[in-house]
Amino acid sequence: MITLEFVNVLMGIMMVGIAIVNVRDTTNAKRYNNAAFWGIYGVTFLAGSYLPNFVNGLLVLAMVSIVAIGKLGGAPPEQTTRAERELSAAKWGNRLFIPALTIPAVALLGTFTLKGLHLNGVALVDPKQVTLISLGLATVVALVVGVVMLRPPASAPIVEARRLMDAVSWAAVLPQMLAALGAMFALAGVGPIVAGILARWIPLDTTFVVVATYTIGMALFTSIMGNAFAAFPVMTAAIGLPLIVHRFGGNVVIMAAVGMLSGFCGTLLTPMAANFNIVPAALLELPDQHAVIKVQVPTALMLLVANTAIMYLFAFR
Amino acid sequence: MLPLIGILIVVVGFALRFNPLVVVAVAAIATGIAAGHATIDVISAFGKAFIDSRSVPVVWLALPVIGLLERSGLKERARIVISRIHVATTGRLLLAYLALRQITASLGLVSLGGHPQMVRPLVAPMAEAAAETRWGELPERTRYRVRAHAAAADNIGLFFGEDIFIAIGSILLIRGFLDQNGIHVEPQDLAVWAIPTAVCAFVIHGTRLLLLDRSLKAEIDDERAP
């Protein structure tokens, strides 16, 4: 059976490859830092499932120390000149889009078809991880299509991957680090403590105040945790169910659906939701790492008001 | 109260613009220690949580092929295509992408977008090209603003589209949570009540995008004023 380990091995190979390209790049003064950072990250993918948790923890702390003490070097310049790329763009035309669009096409196809495939009575692909495995598979197919079509030098894919990876730099690891922080918060019981504080300090005796506390609380708590999924159970157990539904007789479906969407407004506002807000800023080479959040703030706030109105107007009819 | 030290570290660390990766790691370790666990156990739990989250960065697997295509002129091609469509402005283009992202996400097709696969190689260069076709070379800050808007359209389209699809993670989470509390709800009812917010999101953000062209023009004029 193909499991998530398949995706881990692909990631590990890519990270180790990026580390090797870095070591060989004598133009980068920080090349050993970058190589160690991506190399250790590669090890967590290749060997993480087999190493003791404590060793994995030390590996992550080593990566963090490299960033904190040694700093990472930036991305190298592009390997081709603008004139070369324009010439190539004219030569290939819209066919250049084919490999790029292969990724979503194969990922979707895989999601729909791989689930049902069996070999000798065993599922070919872990049914719980079909989407991620399909995405991993799709990137491999797209790369093969790209290489066959463009016939680049053999080193080009990994050299280019290194250029983009070093442009994103440490931000590439931040979403995963935040997921780990979320797990530590859960271990320490942070959620119930925050909900308890909210419930104790706000006078929750009118419908509107309760609804607004819930929607704004969802957004606020999502901003802190970086994830509406972490905020939902805590806020709904503290305010949504006991007050909106049980005391004031609100509709549970509307409370839950709109409550979750209020949390999504919070996701638009916070650097803690790094993969949506910080990573694209790095990926698009924006000098201000909060540039994407700044653009999203007006929409998020207006939508939070809209959500509060929707819940207040429809949940109690 | 002591476990809240992690939140304090994150808020202060981000505000002082320390490296976020370092801030988050320190907050994670501090939270564990403040909750009264031994240091070795905290590092183990932290290592396990990090390893268990290895599927989070899977989109980076797209980088070799995206980089390869960029090397061969993908962004330049995206610009050429958009500069030939004369009605295309930055705002209208991003509005179209917002609609496409919301509709496909509501059908469960969430992988038809994303920052590494779609925004960096296609949407952002197209949005920039649409502005350049009208106004020529863009000032730096306008260029960055257009790019940030391309990323934002992807996020907003995804968040306020996906919840209309009944088998998405958030709907499953809501059902699971309510089930544990003895309340049974149907996924399609939850999905239906995601629609009013989805419409509001499209109207609010769509209006902002239509106003964006004028605001970009003003910014460019301002920048070029002697």
Query: Residue A188 has what pLDDT?
Result: 85
A140 beta partners = none
**Any alpha helices (H) in A236-316, and if so which ranges?**
252-267, 274-283, 291-314
Assess A126–B contact: CB distance below 8 Å, yes or no: no
Write out residues 181-240 of A within 8 Å (CB-CB) of B. Answer: 181-185, 187-190, 193-194, 224, 228-229, 232-233, 236-237
Q: Do A224 and B10 touch (CB under 8 A)?
A: yes
Query: Residue B165 has what pLDDT?
Result: 80
Minimal-distance CA residue of chain A relative to B37: A188
For residue B41, give both structure tokens: 């156990």
Minimal Cβ distance to A180: which of B46, B156, B169:
B46
Write out pLDDT tens, residues A96-132.
989 988 888 888 888 888 877 888 888 888 887 887 8
Write out pLDDT tens, residues A18-75.
999 999 998 888 999 999 999 999 999 999 999 999 999 999 999 999 999 988 988 8
Q: At what angle do helices B195-224 and A291-314 cross, to 10 degrees?
A: 150
Write out pLDDT tens, residues A62-72.
999 999 998 89
Q: What are phi and psi of A123, to 5 degrees?
A: -60, 135
Write out pLDDT tens, residues B139-196.
999 999 999 999 999 999 999 998 888 767 788 888 888 888 889 888 889 989 999 9
Write out pLDDT tens, residues A128-159.
788 788 889 999 999 999 999 999 999 999 99
Query: Residue B46 has what pLDDT?
Result: 94
Query: Residue B1 has what pLDDT?
Result: 66
More confident of the two residues A205 and B183:
B183
ipTM for this prediction? 0.87
Query: Residue A251 pLDDT more than 80?
Result: yes
pTM of the model: 0.84
Query: Residue B81 has what pLDDT?
Result: 85
Are A272 and B135 in contact by the 8 Å Cβ rule? The answer is no
Q: CA-to-CA distance for A115 and B112, rounded, in angstroms?
A: 19
DSSP 8-class letter at A223: H
Q: CA-to-CA distance for A100 and A32, rounded, in angstroms?
A: 32
Q: What is the DSSP string of A135-163?
A: HHHHHHHHHHHHHHHH---TTHHHHHHHH
Residues of B in contact with A90 (CB under 8 A): 73, 80
Minimal Cβ distance to B63: which of A161, A271, A307:
A161
Q: Do A287 and B152 touch (CB under 8 A)?
A: no
Alpha carbon A50 to its chain centroid, in Å, reads 24
Q: Do A284 and B160 touch (CB under 8 A)?
A: no
Minimal Cβ distance to A264: which of B53, B160, B196:
B160
Minimal Cβ distance to B71: which of A152, A184, A237:
A152
Are A44 and A60 in contact by the 8 Å Cβ rule? The answer is yes
Q: Do B200 and A306 touch (CB under 8 A)?
A: yes
Minimal Cβ distance to A284: which of B25, B118, B124:
B124
Write out pLDDT tens, residues B55-89.
878 889 999 999 999 999 988 888 888 888 888 89
Would you kindly state where each structural domain of chain B is located, as residue ranges?
2-54, 59-224
Q: What are phi and psi of A181, to 5 degrees?
A: -60, -40
Assess A76–B contact: CB distance below 8 Å, yes or no: no
Are A39 and A59 in contact by the 8 Å Cβ rule? The answer is no
Q: Do B173 and A80 touch (CB under 8 A)?
A: no
Residue entry with tokens 């390869």: B68
CA distance A206 to chain B (A): 23
Q: Do A68 and B159 touch (CB under 8 A)?
A: no
Write out residues 105-124 of A within 8 Å (CB-CB) of B. Answer: 107-108, 111
Q: CA-to-CA distance for A18 and A165, rounded, in angstroms?
A: 8
Q: Do A165 and B63 touch (CB under 8 A)?
A: yes
In the Cβ-directed half-sphere of A243, how many Cα atoms lie within 13 Å? Answer: 22
Minimal Cβ distance to B163: which of A82, A143, A261:
A261
Query: Among residues of chain A, what percentage have pLDDT more than 70?
Result: 100
A176, A239, A312: best to mutate for the B interface, most B CBs within 10 A? A176
pLDDT band at residue B109 using 50, 70 and 90 as cut-offs: confident
For residue A38, give the nearest of A61, A12, A56 by alpha carbon. Answer: A12
